[in-house]
Chains A and B, each alone.
Chain A
Amino acid sequence: MQEVDVLVVGAGQAGVQVVSALRSGDFAGSIGLVTDQTSAPYELPPLSKDYLKGERPFRRMMLRSPAFWTQHDIALRRGKAVTSIDPDAHCVGLTDGTSIGYGRLVWAAGGYPRNLTCSGADLLGVHPVRTRRDVLSLRRDFERAAHVAVIGGGYIGLEVAAAANQAGKSVVIIEALGRVLSRVAGETLSRFYEAEHRARGVEIRTGARVSHLVGEEGRVRGVALGDGHVVKADVVVVGIGIDPAVGPLLAAGAKGGNGVEVDEFCRTSLPDIFAAGDVAAHVNRFAGDRVVRLESVQNANDQANVVARTILGDPKPYEATPWFWSNQYDLKLQTVGLSTDHDEAIIRGDPLSRSFSIAYFKNDRIVAFDCVNAMRDYAQGRGLLLRRGLDRSRLADPGIPLKEL
């Protein structure tokens, strides 16, 4: 059986950053990186944006150059998934029947896109957007599609809708809740993005339940809603979230449920097993010390650095400021902090000017900013997070720089 000092499972942002930070920190042991994907490790954010539009070649999405893996002596094994973990024996089993022994295991396997459970979910032309393969297949269908239905009004759904609209498709967004972005932003931001999409001809149906997908000769032709209406569609994009890929970890006895629980050093409840990125359920001080999973590049990258430092013997707890971005049309959204469960929102500037920001509070503590075409508020708002007792009228005045509050 092959053995490595550190075995990393998953070659997304978190997995690649762990191995990269270990080598930057002069880790001299052997490192293995296993991914179920066949492509060289790549960035996910362009998938729903410029890669979908065909404006970015794959080689400009690669997380590291092809030379990196040999230069840094990292054994990259592609196209193999880990199916079992034996925490006592310190080894994992792979899909091809082989095993790898580890000194430390880092679980950064990301998540699987949720699929629809209704009838028609397996028709041709129905696509998730999570991997390069998903998007290559979506792009092929896009070429001959006129009508695109996007199920789910989260960031992925909105970004795909923007790309499809820009490619001249007729686009309908179908959202189950009362507004888009309802899980991740306040109502003002939701209504702003709904208006922006509608102004470009995108139809948005909120509060709409999907009944089933309508097909013809095995290929999707429409989305039937609960009220009987059928949304015409040659392509259906499903953006209704991910399920964290933690099956083997939980089966091995790690604590968790929605993800795997980690402490402030990204250690799971199993010895010598760490987790980082989308899978890691952690206590986050920006969420009022609640346990959260964050599906973001920032979280993946910063937790990976925490794992690497712990392995390098220089541990530092995870306390990074959450941030996030989403680009749609000419709108650049930057978010800092976590607005979930906020109880107050203050708007800075006029949304009609298409440059504004929203400050979110929870129990008088400022917890997040959503900034649309307002990079300065994003940069300066970061320093105000978790402060109490801010003067709301000064905060609402875009003429006063946030750093002067």
Chain B
Amino acid sequence: MPTIHVTDRKGEERTLQSSDGNSIMQVIRESGFGDIAAICAGVCSCSTCHIYVDPAFIDSLPPMSGDEDDLLDITGTRLENSRLACQIKFVDALDGLRVTVAPED
């Protein structure tokens, strides 16, 4: 079962596991850790599941859609490695992924 290492806004880290093809947003939210709002319920309509992804994994991630790109622009905290967690399916190839929950706007 692939694992993901999540750092929350307070700098606390937790290792989570999931096997059923959830998005990273769902993995984090269902764990009860990380306090990710994801208020549009994961349909790529807001930017409240903004995370930073370990640059080592950037190339293994699915490409970013235009909508995701535009929504990330709304956040005042976008970096090179910003993604919306609802847009990344948590698959075996991402085992060991490190992500950090971005600050709230």
Contact = CB atoms under 8 A, between A and B. Distances in A.
B41 A375 contact: no
Interface string B68-84: 00110110000000000
A135 to B, nearest CB: 14
Contacts of B71: 375, 379
A362 interface: no
Interface in B10-50: 26, 29-32, 35, 37, 39-43, 45-46, 48
Interface residues of B, number: 22
B63 interface: no
Contacts of B30: 59, 62, 65
B32 A65 contact: yes
Contacts of A64: 29, 32
A376 B26 contact: no
Nearest to B47: A379
Interface residues of A, number: 32
B62 interface: no
A379 B41 contact: no
Nearest to A60: B26
Nearest to B37: A301
A283 to B, nearest CB: 22
Interface in A41-81: 43, 45-46, 59-62, 64-68, 71-72
Contacts of A334: 45
Nearest to A302: B39
A24 B35 contact: yes
A303 interface: no
A17 B37 contact: yes
A68 B73 CA distance: 30
Contact of B32 (A46, A68, A376): A68
B67 interface: yes
B39 A297 contact: yes
Interface string B47-72: 01000000000000000001100110
Interface in A347-391: 375-376, 378-380, 382
